[in-house]
Amino acid sequence: MEITVYGTAVTCPSCVGAPSSEETFSWLQAVLGRKYEQEMTLRYVDFETATADQWTEALKEDIYFYPLIVLDDEMIDEGYVKLKTITAAIDAKLSQTG
């Protein structure tokens, strides 16, 4: 299971008051590491400097807000990220594979 946080150093202009993408990534690493025994990879991608893919291009074209959370190549949350939304997606994925 791989969770990717796409973002950049600058906070999303539409997400006033929300943590930065980097803060969101650090928070998710800590929380998900404590909550799940399942091994998962978490990675952070700065969409402004990364090699182009469907997610970096979508962010550059303002299709999604950032941070953008992707679970195994499926978008699960964006902008003002909610833990409940992310854990629900992880739980659903675990129930499919388990």
Interval 3-54: pLDDT, tens:
999 999 877 666 677 788 999 999 999 999 999 988 899 999 999 999 999 9
- Beta strand 68-71 with 2-7 is antiparallel
Is the entire prediction scored with pTM above 0.75? Answer: yes
What is the pLDDT, as a whole number, of residue 12? Answer: 66
- Model confidence at 88: pLDDT above 70: yes
CA atoms within 13 A on the CB side of 42: 18
